[in-house]
Amino acid sequence: MGANVVAVAEHREGKIAGVTYELVAKGRELAAKTGGAVQVALLGKGVSGLAGEVASRGVEVLLAEHDALAAYTAGGYAQALAAMLRSPPKILLAGHTSQGFDLAPRLAAEWTAPIVANCVDLAMEDGTLIASRKILNDKMAVELAVTSERPYIATLRPGSVKPVGPAGAPGKVTPVSVLIDPAKNGRTFHGYERPEVQDIDIAAADVVVSAGRGIQKKENLPVIEGLAKALGGVVGASRPLTDMDWLPKTRQVGQSGKTVRPKLYIACGISGAMQHIAGMKDAGLIIAINTDPSAPIFEVAHYGVVANVLEFVPALVKELKSG
Amino acid sequence: MPLDVVVCLKQVPNPDLQFQVAADGKDIRRDALNYKTNGADEYALEEAVRLKEKFGGKVTALTAGPKRAEQMLREAMAKGADAAVRLAFDDPAAVDDYQVANMIAAAIAKRPHDLVLTGVQSDDYGYSATGPLVAGFLKIPHASVVTRVEVSEKGLKVWRELEGGDQEVVSLARPALLTIQFGINQPRYAPLPAIMKASRQPIEEVKPTDLGQSTWDGFRGPYTLAVRKVSPPAAKGHAEMIPGNVADQAKAVAQLLREKGFVRG
Ligand SMILES: Cc1cc2nc3c(=O)[nH]c(=O)nc-3n(C[C@H](O)[C@H](O)[C@H](O)COP(=O)(O)OP(=O)(O)OC[C@H]3O[C@@H](n4cnc5c(N)ncnc54)[C@H](O)[C@@H]3O)c2cc1C
């Protein structure tokens, strides 16, 4: 087994996903310990331009191009990676994303290799991989030690490390030829679908007041709407509310919804799952209201209120109006 | 075209609780927890039952977990699963997802499976790894984060959720494994007579010896894995908490919003 750390690049429709550069940053740190180098595996079709873009961050790119890689599929990527990495890396990194957690565990089973998913940090200590993770809706932190002669496979939660920026000297791009048997893939890509927007754009608002499952019933939505109105803002939501059709999908804040950066974000009865936080953590001022003082939303909020949102919000609206 | 659907369920501690670290510092305290069916698994079960109602076939609810998980399997039967299987894996923490997926795959391999469904993630650990691991061990195609399923003569057409609300449409050959995303359907409640009936239905218990290993350790991968530490997360930038009763808090926040210029007039 080699000493290198290989990061699997993520890209869609000609754009490199930001998490790729976070993987490079973490990979570089790990490679310093394994005595190898960090490399990016870029798989696709007609993506030499993207390879140059990644290499400009000062990292070597292993470029595999094939018709069967025109869009991501787990089977296509798994076959290509097995063919590309004839000498397996010490560590293979992917983002903890819809692509990364689709691919990485499957590779672990196929390679008979250990997997640690959804890590917020990774370190090497004398050949042992130390994985830091958050569990139970981010209410607990766990440190896991894994030791193996097989490659370590890990997914890194997006936003956990600072991405690498452009470098003075670009890395080289090394084309690698791969053989892929599409018949063995088992999965065929057909196309992308995008939701049609026929609603206000919550990403354009200065003030977003978001409701979560803590509001308990749809009938309580006017309470939240009242606060949004008093502040000249719009109503957003956590995913369960749009899943239940209490609000249109266009109001969902988070990883699989909208990313918002308003001047003010008020989270009402939202626990603060990582997928929600991904969509609002960069708001200018974040105020969270939750009955549970251990709710992880209080980690990203600037101000926290431990209260029943159905009592607090009407009281706040009254205060705002009487002022 | 009747479908044999195996749906993998996990019983997890209710994540709304506050948790404490166990005395050895390697797990959470588990003596005072209440457990529930993992959120995404409820959607996987509902999808399995709907597919059976549409195409005929059989739904088997399967879990690897301690005896307490039988409660969850009975609920699954009350909601439409025809049979229930428990791998008698008593480790309450079950941190090695490779091992758990490996034993689940071995149990599934021994029974008919046109389709295997799991939830997209478990609410306790959130690794999203078990489904693709199981598919890898079974050597069948899979798709994660599925928000819609269409069954065709030989295969499946499914919609996968990507970041930012986009979807990707893919087709898969059968048998296949899907990890089901929240919101794909509206899970049903179990009617009372079905709950009564499910309380009398048998649950098949699978031991490692039934799967060709003397202990569950036989399903571990080629590595050692140990929890070094469980701790409350280091508070990075904890919010400044507004003290007092609701009236005080409302006053303070209104004041704050005024100072920051968010209140007009
Ligand atoms: C692939 C994937 C993508 C996802 N994408 C997104 C996404 O884009 N956006 C998103 O939001 N989620 C997303 N999720 C779901 C996410 O994991 C969480 O399940 C979700 O964010 C939880 O929403 P919530 O905080 O409203 O509900 P819960 O987690 O149930 O939290 C409710 C909170 O309300 C509090 N509460 C209860 N009653 C009251 C009361 N009376 N007053 C005050 N507080 C109260 C509780 O203490 C709790 O903290 C995604 C999940 C997956 C797997």
Check residue B89 and give its pLDDT: 98
Closest ligand 1 atom to residue A253 Cα is 9
The string over B88-111, giving b where at least 16 C-beta atoms fall within 10 Å of a residue's C-beta and e elsewhere, is ebeeeebbbbbbbbbbbbbbbeee
Q: Is A270 in the pocket of ligand 1 (CB under 6 A)?
A: yes
**B15-63 pLDDT, tens digit each:** 888 899 999 999 999 988 999 999 999 999 999 999 999 999 999 999 9
Q: Is A249 in the pocket of ligand 1 (CB under 6 A)?
A: no
Q: Considering only CB atoms, which chain A residues are within 8 Å of B227?
A: 142-145
Check residue A323 and give its pLDDT: 66
The proportion of chain B whose per-residue pLDDT surpasses 90, expressed as a percent, equals 92
- Chain A, residues 108-137, CB within 8 A of chain B, namely 108-110, 112-115, 117-118, 130, 133-137
**B97-149 pLDDT, tens digit each:** 999 999 999 999 999 999 999 999 999 999 999 999 999 999 999 999 999 99
Q: Considering only CB atoms, which chain B residues are within 8 Å of A255?
A: 163-164
Q: What is the number of domains present in chain B?
A: 1
Confidence of residue B213 (pLDDT cuts 50, 70, 90): very high
Closest ligand 1 atom to residue A241 Cα is 26
Contact B197, B164 (CB under 8 A): no
Alpha carbon of B43 to ligand 1 centroid (Å): 16
Is residue A244 helix, strand or coil? Answer: coil
Q: Considering only CB atoms, which chain A residues are within 8 Å of B249?
A: 305, 307, 312, 315
Closest ligand 1 atom to residue A272 Cα is 25
Ligand 1: residue of A136, A209, A238 to mutate (most ligand atoms within 8 A of CB) is A238
Q: Give the C-alpha separation, B254 to B248, whole Å.
A: 10
Q: Considering only CB atoms, which chain B residues are within 8 Å of A306?
A: 241
Q: Considering only CB atoms, which chain A residues are within 8 Å of B131?
A: 105
The proportion of chain A whose per-residue pLDDT surpasses 70, expressed as a percent, equals 99
Alpha carbon of B23 to ligand 1 centroid (Å): 30
Does residue B55 lie in a domain region? Answer: yes
Does residue B129 lie in a domain region? Answer: yes
Does residue B155 lie in a domain region? Answer: yes
The string over B31-54, giving b where at least 16 C-beta atoms fall within 10 Å of a residue's C-beta and e elsewhere, is eebebbbbbbbbbbbbbbbbbbee
Backbone dihedral angles phi then psi of residue A132, each to the nearest 5 degrees: -105, 130
Show the domain range for B202: 3-219
Confidence of residue A252 (pLDDT cuts 50, 70, 90): very high
Ligand 1: residue of A99, A134, A256 to mutate (most ligand atoms within 8 A of CB) is A256
Most confident of A188-202, B8-22, B202-216: B202-216
| Two structure tokens written together for B18 | 């506050």
Given strand A91-95, what is the order of strands in its sheet?
A173-175, A60-65, A38-44, A5-8, A91-95, A152-156, A115-125, A128-135, A140-148, B223-231
Chain-centroid distance, C-alpha B149: 18
> How far apart are the CA of B66 and the nearest CA of chain A, in angstroms?
19
Atom 45, ligand 1: residue with shortest CA distance: A214
Residue A1 has pLDDT above 90, yes or no: no
Does residue B235 lie in a domain region? Answer: no
Confidence of residue A162 (pLDDT cuts 50, 70, 90): very high
B95: CATH? 3.40.50.620
pTM: 0.94
What's the sign of the alpha-carbon dihedral A282, A285, A290, A292? positive
Ligand 1: residue of A210, A275, A289, A291 to mutate (most ligand atoms within 8 A of CB) is A275
Q: Is A238 in the pocket of ligand 1 (CB under 6 A)?
A: yes
Confidence of residue B265 (pLDDT cuts 50, 70, 90): low
Confidence of residue A86 (pLDDT cuts 50, 70, 90): confident
Q: Is A220 in the pocket of ligand 1 (CB under 6 A)?
A: no
Check residue B165 and give its pLDDT: 84
- In whole numbers, what is the pLDDT of chain B averaged over residues? 95
Contact B262 A147 (CB under 8 A): no
Does B33 contact chain A (CB < 8 Å)? Answer: no
Residue A195 has pLDDT above 80, yes or no: no
Q: Considering only CB atoms, which chain B residues are within 8 Å of A288?
A: 239
Interface contacts A/B by beta carbons within 8 Å: 292
Confidence of residue A19 (pLDDT cuts 50, 70, 90): very high
Residue B166 has pLDDT above 70, yes or no: yes
Check residue A183 and give its pLDDT: 85
Atom 47, ligand 1: residue with shortest CA distance: A292
Check residue B254 and give its pLDDT: 97
Mean pLDDT of B58-78: 97
Alpha carbon of B183 to ligand 1 centroid (Å): 13
Check residue B164 and give its pLDDT: 86
Name A3's Cβ contacts closer than 8 Å, sequence gap at least 6: A31, A34, A35, A36, A90
Does residue B224 lie in a domain region? Answer: no
Chain-centroid distance, C-alpha A69: 22
Name A67's Cβ contacts closer than 8 Å, sequence gap at least 6: A45
- In whole numbers, what is the pLDDT of chain A averaged over residues? 95
Contact B227 A102 (CB under 8 A): no
Nearest Cα neighbor of A117 from A107, A127, A291, A283 is: A107
Does residue B261 lie in a domain region? Answer: no
Domains located in chain A, CATH noted: 5-184 (3.40.50.620), 202-322 (3.40.50.1220)
Residue A305 has pLDDT above 90, yes or no: yes
Mean pLDDT of A207-220: 97
Mean pLDDT of B200-210: 97
Confidence of residue A200 (pLDDT cuts 50, 70, 90): confident
End-to-end CA distance of chain A: 69
Does residue B54 lie in a domain region? Answer: yes
Check residue A270 and give its pLDDT: 98
Q: Which helix (H) or strand (E) holds B163?
A: none
Does A261 contact chain B (CB < 8 Å)? Answer: no
Check residue A2 and give its pLDDT: 86
> How far apart are the CA of A164 and the nearest CA of chain B, in angstroms?
21
Does residue B76 lie in a domain region? Answer: yes
Q: Give the C-alpha separation, A294 to A292, whole Å.
A: 5
